[in-house]
Chain A
């Protein structure tokens, strides 16, 4: 009798699984999907490189390059919290799958320009 109840329930309830990829995957606002980099804000301070637990980030100060190895990144979110210049953020969408030779290491050119210091009053006067 108990079994009958279970069987009947199977007929009426909706499927519990998501028919991915027809239906998009479920995400929350706080889901750690992947790291996003904003080249216009990075001052190449190198904090993210020094403190990344999996050594996924390299910052080349001289060449103005910021590199992330997506296959090393464990998406812990530490770099996004440590970056004082808001150059890093987390996107809830997972990065799409790829082979290491297709993608994996992403390099960005840092386009940050140091804002000019506002001139002092004495300088303006001259």
Chain B
């Protein structure tokens, strides 16, 4: 016997999800039959600003697309302009960009783990995750001058150099951070209650993930080897690492991928610091961008694409961003079908939604 169908509106404001997405959940006996997403609550029109801001000033705006992936947005944008203009960035600058990108990944994943623990009602774990995140933010502030918006990327390189003494200090401090993270992730991966609420919830099989175009930890938790870093942009070509993949396909697997990526990032930063080349951190830039370019990067949440088109003037004619959250929405809808109503908030959180950067 099938029950009566009801539609439960979820969001755009919800206690566990401070992100403005609205879902119409079609419910049948406590089970979600279908989820219909609607977006468009926070559109800021950032992309159309390219014709009013010079490309070199737009780096600051690109950085403000998202508060968490800010560094990756600015480096992806710079990478795009550099590709358009054929600028060769000094090796030290690409290494520094990679390092800051990995620090951003650490702070983003720790932020998500904390928020997730909080959403499940595990307050002390939330505090612990954010305590560790604080030390990552301190490193970022000490090297770039900003905690969340680093403002350190520019077309042609980076604006600040980090001394080698400071880098070796960071190397040592990372070991302490890693020890703390190990203790914290152990709770995430072995706690009975967390497991109970994650294992088997929000299942996304590998072929479904592939067909729906999942990216980032969502794809990797379904066993897909999807990682733009393997394409070797920035300094990733010189680094040895293997994308973290897990076969679980459920909420627990996505949590596990993010936990494991913390240690992967620490490892990458160690390698970056060890192999840091000497030299300048920026080159002078002349001329204006002309032509079109696709710039791709791996953000903490997955692949981001910046499309740029210039016509030889100071302003770009077109700028388009596709963020990982947007790419993961179809996967989210697939995960929600068949889930229990009580699990919806956690499942939505496991894709690490960032609606602000999805809609720009």
Contact = CB atoms under 8 A, between A and B. Distances in A.
Interface stretch (A25-33, A34-42, A62-70, A106-114): A25-33
Contacts of A90: 145
A42 to B, nearest CB: 20
Interface string A1-30: 000000000000000100000000010101
A28 B54 contact: no
Interface residues of B, number: 20
Contacts of B145: 28, 30-32, 77, 90
Contacts of A77: 145, 151, 159
Nearest to A27: B141
A84 interface: no
29 contacts: A16-B131, A16-B134, A28-B141, A28-B142, A28-B145, A30-B141, A30-B142, A30-B143, A30-B144, A30-B145, A30-B160, A31-B141, A31-B145, A31-B146, A32-B145, A32-B151, A51-B54, A51-B57, A53-B61, A74-B60, A74-B64, A76-B149, A76-B151, A77-B145, A77-B151, A77-B159, A78-B57, A78-B60, A90-B145
B173 interface: no
A51 to B, nearest CB: 6
Contacts, number: 38
A76 B60 contact: yes
Interface of A: 16, 26, 28, 30-32, 51, 53, 74, 76-78, 81, 90
A26 B140 CA distance: 13
Given A28-B145, A32-B145, A76-B151, 12 more contacts: A28-B141, A30-B142, A30-B144, A31-B145, A32-B151, A53-B53, A53-B58, A53-B60, A74-B64, A76-B149, A77-B145, A78-B60
B138 interface: yes
B146 A32 contact: yes
Contacts of A28: 141-142, 145
Nearest to B130: A16
Main secondary structure of the interface of B (DSSP, over half): helix
Contacts of B159: 77, 81
B29 to A, nearest CB: 39
A78 B54 CA distance: 13
Contacts of B149: 74, 76
A32 B143 CA distance: 11
5 A-B pairs with least C-beta separation: A30-B145, A53-B60, A28-B142, A32-B145, A53-B57
A83 B131 CA distance: 38
A78 B58 CA distance: 11
A28 B145 CA distance: 7
